[in-house]
């Protein structure tokens, strides 16, 4: 609580409190006026109701509003969550006032009709004032973009043609942002081809390990979303050198280039797999314990980013839950996606270590979480780690299998034990509390979406290597960089290599 109060900007909070207090007063006076105009109640009696009955208790409203989070984080909450919070907070405050009124005053001293009018007017006033403010800020931001101001600078999405990146690009464009993508197009450009005619979209084909490509991509951007990586334990183990280069060394190089060009906001895609195996519910304060090279590269990249934080450089780390769902660049090496495909085509699924827990999140919700972090005031997210997901989507693999079987009743389920020790449940309270993020997609709706994609033949063969990172990288062979890039990456990766050598020397 002390930390929260210390970070509160009272110069911004006090005017908002006074504005809400004025709205509540006006709503009650207006409700009394509406009653007085249509009844025989004297104005003197109505004035006494206001002065003696309402005004002393009206200070409950800013108190309840504050407890509901109106003046701390509500400005950065996701839109739907924010409006629900405002409506529920106003209603709760009204009920608290009514309880106080009937305890301290005569039950018949408040005209009953005025109660309904007051609830409607108070909700409309508190809600409407914020809607109007948001609208004005929107118009101001649009004006800045029209004039070519700072708000017009594009967002650089590194890895923007990938499974998550292609969804993120669409979400940012829909929000009115300009988008620049740096991607080697190792999986092709199919996922972003339809975006190429959009004048607000720019594609730069290049390797994130190549310093010339990175410099050209970073120049002139307002923020960076770093999504590029060799994703998954098997793919990283298959080519450990490339994994170190792309997942860690390229991140360090990107940090230095971003700082050199004055890019203030840097969002990094990490993973909840950094928690490894744990019995307790893991939050952002828990010590990472990665069980694979993939997890190690994510932890080391997080450390490099947070150590680079400064007055003009604000990194944000988002640890993604296990992603599922259909994307313009489909993947079927992800547990939910693969199980759905097997249930649909083979009518049989195999569940390994069914009682192990995983946090899940739909790819569309990942994109929305990134947008929330990108749009939040910098003092709310700078230097912060957020688990990106939703508590409601923590599930065991057996529970996932049951949900899939409900969609495909004829599918058989086989349970097998193996040596995979990853087992973790994750708390997503922080991102919900600070950014108001909540998942819109459930496992059930995501499974149904994948079913429709398979039935429509949008994915003719889910077993094709193009839909599996490890298989595809094995098929195309090495993805090592040029000799100069390799030397640059080796310099940036030295810290990680030292970490790997220490246990071996012991």
Angstrom distance (rounded) from CA 39 to CA 478: 85
- If asked whether residues 303 and 418 sit together in one domain, one would say yes
Residue corresponding to tokens 């919700």: 365
- If asked whether residues 133 and 162 sit together in one domain, one would say no
Domain end residue (candidates: 117, 146, 175)? 146
Residue 504 inside a domain? The answer is no
> pTM for the whole thing?
0.73
- For residue 136, how many other CB atoms are within 10 A of its CB? 10
Residue 255 inside a domain? The answer is yes
Give the domain extent around 375.
Answer: 153-496
Q: How many domains does the chain have?
A: 2
Name the token pair of 240: 């450990």
Residue 11 inside a domain? The answer is yes
- If asked whether residues 37 and 166 sit together in one domain, one would say no
Torsions phi, psi for 268 (to 5 deg): -115, 130
Residue 502 inside a domain? The answer is no
Domain end residue (candidates: 127, 146, 165)? 146
Question: Which pLDDT score, from 0 to 100, does residue 99 have?
Answer: 80
- For residue 34, how many other CB atoms are within 10 A of its CB? 17
Burial of 108 (0-12, 13-18, 19+ CB in 10 A): exposed
Residue 434 inside a domain? The answer is yes
Residue 27 inside a domain? The answer is yes
Angstrom distance (rounded) from CA 4 to CA 72: 8
Per DSSP, helices labelled H in 261-362 are 293-307, 335-345
- If asked whether residues 234 and 103 sit together in one domain, one would say no
Give residues with Cβ within 8 angstroms of 339, minimum separation 6: 349, 351, 400, 401, 404
Domain end residue (candidates: 121, 146, 171)? 146
Question: Which pLDDT score, from 0 to 100, does residue 149 have?
Answer: 45
- If asked whether residues 321 and 396 sit together in one domain, one would say yes
Angstrom distance (rounded) from CA 357 to CA 469: 23
Residue 401 inside a domain? The answer is yes
Angstrom distance (rounded) from CA 225 to CA 248: 15
Question: Which pLDDT score, from 0 to 100, does residue 218 have?
Answer: 96
Which CATH number characterizes residue 320's domain? 3.40.50.720
- If asked whether residues 175 and 103 sit together in one domain, one would say no
- If asked whether residues 160 and 93 sit together in one domain, one would say no
- If asked whether residues 91 and 192 sit together in one domain, one would say no
506 residues of the chain, pLDDT tens digit each = 444 444 445 666 788 888 888 888 888 888 877 766 655 556 676 677 777 777 887 888 888 888 877 776 554 455 566 667 777 787 788 788 778 777 776 555 556 667 777 778 887 888 777 777 766 655 654 554 444 444 579 999 999 999 999 999 999 999 999 999 999 999 999 999 999 999 999 999 999 999 999 999 999 999 999 999 998 888 888 888 888 999 999 999 999 999 999 999 999 999 998 998 877 899 999 999 988 899 999 999 999 999 999 999 999 999 999 999 999 999 999 999 999 999 999 999 999 888 899 999 999 999 999 999 999 999 899 999 999 999 999 999 999 999 999 999 989 999 998 776 667 889 999 999 999 999 999 999 999 999 999 999 889 899 999 999 889 888 887 665 555 556 555 656 665 555 554 443 33
Tell me which DSSP letter residue 250 carries: H
Question: Is the distance from CB of 366 to CB of 165 less than 8 angstroms?
Answer: no
- If asked whether residues 129 and 173 sit together in one domain, one would say no
């Amino acid at each position: 609580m002390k930390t929260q109060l210390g970070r509160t900007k009272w110069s911004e909070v006090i005017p908002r409190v006074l504005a809400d207090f004025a709205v509540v007063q006006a709503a009650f006076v207006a409700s009394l006026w509406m009653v007085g105009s249509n009844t025989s109640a004297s104005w003197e009696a109505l004035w006494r109701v206001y002065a003696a009955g309402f005004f002393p208790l009206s200070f409950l409203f800013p108190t309840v509003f504050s407890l509901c989070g109106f003046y701390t984080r509500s400005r950065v909450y996701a839109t739907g969550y924010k409006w629900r919070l405002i409506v529920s907070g106003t209603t709760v405050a009204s009920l608290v006032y009514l309880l106080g009124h009937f305890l301290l005053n005569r039950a018949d001293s408040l005209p009953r009709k005025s109660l309904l009018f007051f609830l409607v007017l108070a909700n409309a006033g508190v809600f409407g004032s914020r809607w109007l403010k948001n609208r004005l800020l929107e118009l101001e931001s649009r004006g800045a973009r029209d004039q070519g101001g700072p708000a017009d600078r594009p967002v650089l999405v590194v890895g923007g043609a990938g499974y998550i990146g292609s969804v993120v690009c669409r979400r940012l464009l829909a929000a009115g942002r300009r988008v620049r993508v740096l991607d080697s197009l190792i999986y092709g450009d199919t996922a972003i081809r339809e975006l190429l005619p959009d004048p607000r979209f720019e594609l730069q084909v290049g390797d994130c390990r190549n310093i010339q490509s990175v410099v050209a991509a970073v120049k002139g951007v307002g923020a960076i979303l770093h999504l590029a990586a060799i994703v998954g334990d098997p793919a990283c183990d298959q080519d450990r050198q490339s994994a170190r280069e792309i997942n860690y060394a390229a991140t360090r190089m990107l940090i230095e280039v971003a700082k050199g060009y004055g890019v203030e906001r840097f969002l990094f895609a990490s993973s909840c797999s950094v928690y490894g195996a744990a019995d307790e519910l893991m939050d952002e304060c828990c010590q990472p314990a990665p069980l694979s090279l993939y997890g190690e590269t994510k932890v080391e990249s997080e450390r490099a980013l947070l150590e680079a934080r400064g007055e003009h450089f604000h990194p944000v780390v988002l640890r993604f839950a296990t992603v599922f769902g259909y994307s313009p660049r489909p993947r079927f090496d992800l547990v939910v996606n693969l199980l759905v495909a097997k249930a649909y085509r083979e009518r049989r699924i195999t569940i390994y270590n069914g009682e192990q827990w995983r946090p899940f999140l739909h790819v569309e919700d990942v994109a929305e979480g990134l947008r929330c972090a990108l749009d939040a005031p910098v003092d709310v997210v700078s230097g912060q780690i957020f688990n990106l997901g939703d508590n409601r989507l923590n599930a065991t693999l057996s529970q996932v299998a049951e949900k899939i079987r409900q969609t495909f009743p004829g599918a058989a389920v086989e349970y097998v034990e193996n040596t995979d020790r990853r087992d973790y449940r994750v708390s997503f309270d922080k991102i919900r509390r600070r950014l108001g993020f909540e998942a819109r997609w459930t496992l059930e709706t995501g499974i149904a979406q994948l079913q429709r994609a398979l039935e429509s033949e949008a994915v003719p063969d889910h077993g094709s290597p193009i839909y599996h990172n490890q298989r595809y990288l094995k098929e195309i062979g090495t993805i090592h960089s040029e000799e100069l890039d390799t030397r640059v990456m080796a310099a940036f990766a030295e810290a990680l290599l030292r970490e790997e050598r220490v246990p071996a020397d012991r």
